[in-house]
Each structure stands twice: as structure tokens, then as C-alpha cells.
Amino acid sequence: MAGQIRDYWRNFIDGKWLDAADGRRIAVTDPATGGVIAEVARGGSADIDQAVAAARRCFDSRALLEMTPAARGELMFEIARRLDDFADEIALVEMHDNGKTLANGYKEVELTQRYLRYYGGLADKLEGRQIPLGDGLVDYTVHMPYGVSAQIVPWNGPLPVGARSIACALITGNTVVLKSPEDSPLSLFLFAEACAKAGVPEGAVNIVCGIGAEAGAALVSHSDIDHIVFTGSVATGKSVLRAAAERVIPAVMELGGKSAGIVYADADLERTARNAARGIFHHSGQICSAASRLLVHRSVHDELVERLRAEAVRRSVGPGIESCDMGPVISQRQLDRIEALCDTGVAEGATLVTGGHRLERAGFFLPPTIFTGVSPDMQIANEEFFGPVVVVLPFDEPEEAIRIANGTDYGLAAGVFTRDLRLAHWTADRLVAGQVYVNDWWVGGVETPFGGAKRSGYGREKGQEALLGYVQTKNIGIRL
């Protein structure tokens, strides 16, 4: 699709489009070229104050709570419908500020609409309990919203990740201030336009772009927020939790991962290699639940690595506009970080099978990268690349595979590849991870709860279970 990206984008606060209070702006870069494509208002603490005040006013006005739950659901359906009008522009900005292909940009819109419709449908189905206390007494529970929900999303999938949290918040009666990611902020501004067109009450959804250490820190430490949803790195997550602890407010934490796929000797190696390649090279590995470690039974190790290498080298790497198989990583900073970690792998004695060095061209491109000869204590076996890099470790016994898989600080996702259902069950049972994929990385969807164990965080997004993170139970006991 041909199209022009708007030069300048303002923050969405209290239903209005506003410059930053101090007039500052952030330049947005196309990771496929390194060139600046737009500017956005650089929200700071004054803008966050204004957004939180608007969200508070809206919450206190009970504008959402006075709607029936079904009407709040209808509102989600209407946002989903309005997004159709922005689909072309969203696909375009996702291509230029995030490095996706146009086709994947459209998929982000579809996924976002799916979240909105899923949670819209659940709006009138969140039921409480009646608890029997005996004669003369009635006792029941209701779900009450927290109030103002502060949400921080990362740059890899800002639109669906932001929209699903906003949808959960709104249908349960909370209002939202979302700090959008400074590297890829544009699609969420278009989501805000869809909210405005759909008739979302003013102040119910506020979207402020800003630098993490400025606007993000100002938001999570604000004295008038009631709830936090944070998706991002463990390091930032810890500082967010310190701010939450200061105010004793709850937080849903969706953090990083170093997820292991275990390949047993009886696995279908051709399918497994294809699937594992997709699990790490999709969106250049910039997915928290990417298959970034492969633990392979020694008897099939060499064959699987060869098949994986073939998958890696057949992928075209280049700009989304050329519909290449794999696009850039998000920024110069990420490219430098990932490449430096690859150098560490080589220095640690691992074998670089393919990739590992940036492409000598404009933009931030690192080709699909595979390391073998990796041992569990190496830095590259423990640290998240958040790039298209997979480390392969051999094992001999299932218990050893479990030990290695569970041996990092993370516990986001894990996978098992085998034809033996008993072994698959046994393995899934012992893996410490929020989700386990059997014979297909990323089995699941909008309907399935998603979240981490250990340092990968807590609380769940997606599925019905996510709603429980946005409400607290109020018990009402009555003596008749």
C-alpha cells in the first residue's frame, strides 16, 4: 500500500490531542533504514499528571460503571469496527516504525480486533459467587475495578499488547493511562483515534508517549494510580515493582524469557526444525516467548542443527517493504547489544554456525543466528538476546533436559517435540514455565492465559483469566 506517514503525532489525553507540556518531541526512526520518519510529542511528568487526572475524573464520574457490562462489551466491538478504518495506516506505520512486513502489520490489526471482540464478549460474563452462611444471612461477592490502571507496553507488539490490557481494564470499569513505547509509538495513536471515534468516554483511555525513565517512571510512581500492568524487561520490571511497593498497589508483570524447546530423539525432525526456526526468527526473535534455546537429544543433534541451519540461511533478510522473510531489529542500541552478546558467545567458546554479525547496509539487520557447543553456564545460554539468535545445547537423558530447561532465572514458555505422548506429558509437567507448547511453538491464542513463572513475572494476560488481574473481590454479607 502506498501512503504517507504523518509528520507529527500528539498525545491523547482526556479525549484531546495535545503537544507535550514543555513542547519537546521524540524522533521516530525506521529500523529498516535508520532514517527519521516522524516526530511524536515527548510526554513528561506534567503530561502524565494531566493524563492521570483525566483518568481519575473519568473513573470518579462512573461513566463506565453506569454503562451495563453488555454496553461496555458493545464499546469494545465498536472500537474493533472503527479499527477497520485505520487498518491501512496501522499496517504502514507498523512497517516503518517497527520493521514488520505490511502483511504482518495487517495481522496485528486482526489480532487486536480479535482481542477486543473476545473481551467485549466477556464483559457481561464476569460473575461473582454466593456463599451459604445459613438462615437469616445472605453473602455474595462482586468484582470491583481498581480505578486508574497505569500500563506500560514494549515496542515489539505495542498495538495488540496495549489493546488487550486496555480492553480488560475498560470492560471491568477501570480507566487507563498507557505509556506507549518510544521506539514504535505510532500504531497506538491510531488505536486512540479508533477509541475516540467509537465513543469511549473522555479520560477513560489516555495514551502518552515518552521515554521510559521520564514518562514511564513518572507514571508508575504517580500518587494517584491504583494498578499497574507492565510488559518489558526484568530490569525495568524491578524498578516498576519498587514504585508499586511504595504505594502498595498490585501489578501484572509480563517480563522476559529464555524459553527452551526440548527435542527428543523420536521427534519429526523436519517439522521440528521448521517450527523451531519460526519460533526464534519470527519478528527477528523480538518476542518475549521466542524459542531462544533448543535442547536436543545428542543422537539427533547434528541432523537437527543442519536442518535448522538450512532454515536460517534460506530466509531473506531485509526491509518489510520488500516482504523479506525477516526484518530488522528495532534500533541501533538493540543491534549493538545483540551483536556484542554474540561476540561474548564466541569468546565463551561456543560455535557460531551461522549469522552473528550485522549486515553491512543501512538499517539494523542481523541475520538468523545459531550457536552450538553451548553449555548451560555460558552467558549466552542464560541472557535474553531479544533478537534472532538461538543457542543449541545437547542432552542425553530427559531429567538432564528438564534440569537445563529449568536452569535459568526465567520461566516464560517452554516446548517439547516428541511423538511419545507419555513423554510429552511427563516433560510438560516438570517444566517450570507459564506455558508449554507441544509439537508446535506458540500453540495457544487470544483465549489462552499467558504469563510467566520465576523472573518472567506473574499475573496472566489473555484468556478469561486475565480479567482477574483487573478486579478485586468485594464480599457483601447481609443479615436479613
Q: List all residues 6 or more positions away from 377 whose beta carbon is below 8 Å from its beta carbon.
A: none
Whether 94 and 31 have beta carbons less than 8 Å apart is answered as no
Nearest CB to ligand NAD, comparing residues 190 and 198: 190
Q: Is 154 in the site for ligand NAD (CB under 6 A)?
A: yes
Nearest CB to ligand NAD, comparing residues 213 and 310: 213
Beta carbon of residue 246, minimum distance to ligand NAD (angstroms, whole number): 13
Q: Where are the alpha helices (DSSP H) in 211-253?
A: 217-220, 234-247
Angle at 200 between CA 203 and CA 470, to 5 degrees: 75
According to CB under 6 A, which one of 47, 108, 254, 311 is a site residue for ligand NAD?
254
Segment 377 to 406, residues that bind ligand NAD, using CB under 6 A:
384, 386
According to CB under 6 A, which one of 231, 275, 369, 418 is a site residue for ligand NAD?
231
Segment 134 to 153, residues that bind ligand NAD, using CB under 6 A:
152-153
According to CB under 6 A, which one of 44, 162, 185, 232 is a site residue for ligand NAD?
232
Q: Is the dihedral of CA 471, 198, 107, 17 positive or negative?
A: negative
Q: List all residues 6 or more positions away from 304 whose beta carbon is below 8 Å from its beta carbon.
A: 263, 269, 272, 273, 294, 296, 392
Q: Which grid coordinates belong to 23?
A: 513542547
According to CB under 6 A, which one of 80, 168, 220, 308 is a site residue for ligand NAD?
220
The strand order across the sheet containing 457-458 reads: 16-18, 11-13, 205-209, 175-180, 148-152, 227-231, 251-254, 457-458
Half-sphere exposure of residue 252, counting CA atoms within 13 Å on the CB side?
28
Q: Which grid coordinates belong to 278?
A: 519460526
Q: Where are the alpha helices (DSSP H) in 266-319?
A: 269-281, 301-313
According to CB under 6 A, which one of 120, 212, 327, 328 is a site residue for ligand NAD?
212
Q: Is 43 in the site for ligand NAD (CB under 6 A)?
A: no
Beta carbon of residue 319, minimum distance to ligand NAD (angstroms, whole number): 21
Nearest CB to ligand NAD, comparing residues 58 and 287: 287
- Which of 252-260, 291-299, 349-357, 362-370 is the region at the interface with ligand NAD (rule: CB under 6 A)? 252-260
Q: Is 464 in the site for ligand NAD (CB under 6 A)?
A: no
How many beta carbons lie within 10 A of that of residue 74, not counting itself? 17
Asked about 384 being catalytic, the answer comes back as no
- Which of 66-74, 230-238, 318-326, 424-432 is the region at the interface with ligand NAD (rule: CB under 6 A)? 230-238
According to CB under 6 A, which one of 257, 367, 387, 411 is a site residue for ligand NAD?
257
C-alpha 64/C-alpha 67 separation (Å) is 5
Provide the CA 420 distance to its chain's centre, in angstroms.
32
How many chain residues are in contact with ligand NAD, going by CB under 6 A?
Answer: 28
For residue 392, give the nearest of 367, 371, 369 by alpha carbon: 371
- Which of 137-145, 154-162, 194-202, 394-402 is the region at the interface with ligand NAD (rule: CB under 6 A)? 154-162
For residue 417, give the nearest of 258, 259, 257, 269 by alpha carbon: 269
Nearest CB to ligand NAD, comparing residues 200 and 208: 208
Beta carbon of residue 362, minimum distance to ligand NAD (angstroms, whole number): 22
In the bound state, the residue with its beta carbon closest to ligand NAD is 212
- Which of 42-50, 121-129, 232-240, 390-398 is the region at the interface with ligand NAD (rule: CB under 6 A)? 232-240
Q: Is 204 in the site for ligand NAD (CB under 6 A)?
A: no
| Residue bearing cell 492521570 | 52
C-alpha 195/C-alpha 185 separation (Å) is 16
**Helix-helix angle 186-198:158-171, to 10 degrees:** 30
Nearest CB to ligand NAD, comparing residues 180 and 418: 180
Nearest CB to ligand NAD, comparing residues 66 and 447: 447
According to CB under 6 A, which one of 178, 217, 308, 389 is a site residue for ligand NAD?
217
Q: Is 459 in the site for ligand NAD (CB under 6 A)?
A: no
For residue 214, give the nearest of 56, 42, 28 by alpha carbon: 42
| Residue bearing cell 545445547 | 393
Q: Which grid coordinates belong to 338?
A: 545483540
Question: Which entry of 78, 94, 193, 254 is annotated as an active-site residue?
Answer: 254
Q: Is 469 in the site for ligand NAD (CB under 6 A)?
A: no
Please name every residue paired with 323 in a beta bridge, in sequence order, or none if there are none.
Answer: none
Interface map 181-200 toward ligand NAD (x if CB under 6 A): xx------------------
Q: Which grid coordinates belong to 281?
A: 526468527
In the complex, the residues that contact ligand NAD under the rule CB under 6 A are 152-156, 179, 181-182, 212-213, 216-217, 220, 231-233, 236, 239-240, 254-257, 288, 384, 386, 412, 452
The residues assigned a catalytic role are: 254
